[in-house]
Amino acid sequence: MSGKSVIDIFREIKRGYYGSRKNVFDAEHYFFRWYRPVSFYPTAVLIKHGVSANAVTGFGAICLLVAFAMLATGQLMLGALLYLFAYLIDFMDGNIARYAGHPTFFGKMIDGLVDSLTFLLFMALALGNARYGNPVFGASVELFLGVATAFGFLFRAYFYVRLTFILSQVPQGNVGSEGEASAGQGGVGSPAVTAARPLFLRYGKKFYFGLISGMPVLLVLAVLLRAVSVYLAVYFALFVLATLFEVVYGLVRVRRKDA
């Protein structure tokens, strides 16, 4: 438990944020500029009471799974609001770790694993909307959109991890197994990571990051407007159709490296 007041902790978090790279990162993710400042005060309260970053991550995972269960059972608005709350919690664990001055690899790992659960959102939402909501495209099409988008979300993440690894081997002429990779070749900011960035990140960053960072807020809006089917269609286009294009583009680039 910190001896400082909640207000003092809040001010320190705020000062640290505006002087960090996170501020620059959030400038590209439109909705992050709103989420993170909202998370500062609750973070200060948690720090004041000695709550650890990993505990917050675990609580966020529980909220996320409960939100998806609500969506799947037709409680669309409650599920959407809880998903938004869980999304805000995802900022708090990082705030705590940075305030403490010692973020850990373990913390980053479990935070990433919790983030990967997002694929369940699309299946749960499709199921709930098909059975209890307003499925504009019909129940079978809604379910297809949900499952396909979930698969696309996971496959896209795998593809870019793999593409980054392959491109990290090219400068050294090493196309061996993962175990032969040199340490640090695929680190953040390396030429391989930059080369593997999706086309959207280079030619449509604001639109792309807006859709990604806006998933919780746009879901609440979609439920209010009874436009969940449109929401599913938009993210199907983003994570399935656009990913197919990106895969072809990535394979062509790798093929050129062999020429």
C-alpha 163/C-alpha 198 separation (Å) is 10
Q: Burial, 121: exposed, middle or buried (Cβ in 10 Å; 0-12, 13-18, 19+)?
A: buried
Q: What is the mean pLDDT of residues 56-76?
A: 96
Q: What is the mean pLDDT of residues 72-85?
A: 97
pLDDT single digits (tens) 93-119: 988 988 888 778 888 889 888 988 999
Q: Are 22 and 36 in contact (CB under 8 A)?
A: yes
Q: Are 43 and 92 in contact (CB under 8 A)?
A: yes
Residue 28's pLDDT is 62
Asked if the model's pLDDT at residue 71 lies above 60, the reply is yes
- Lowest average pLDDT, out of 90-99, 114-123, 204-213, 228-237, goes to 204-213
* Residue carrying structure tokens 């299946």: 123
Residue 19's pLDDT is 66
User: What CA–CA distances, in Å, run from 125 to 98, 182, 222, 233?
Assistant: 33, 42, 11, 12
Asked if the model's pLDDT at residue 147 lies above 50, the reply is yes
User: What CA–CA distances, in Å, run from 188 to 17, 63, 102, 114?
Assistant: 20, 30, 19, 20
Asked if the model's pLDDT at residue 162 lies above 70, the reply is yes
Q: Are 119 and 154 in contact (CB under 8 A)?
A: yes
Handedness of CA 103, 5, 36, 14 (dihedral sign): negative
Q: Are 169 and 181 in contact (CB under 8 A)?
A: yes
Q: Mark out the alpha helices in the chain (DSSP H runs).
A: 6-18, 21-28, 32-48, 53-72, 76-100, 105-116, 119-132, 139-169, 191-195, 199-203, 205-213, 215-224, 228-236, 242-258
Asked if the model's pLDDT at residue 178 lies above 70, the reply is no
Query: What mean pLDDT value characterizes the chain?
Result: 82
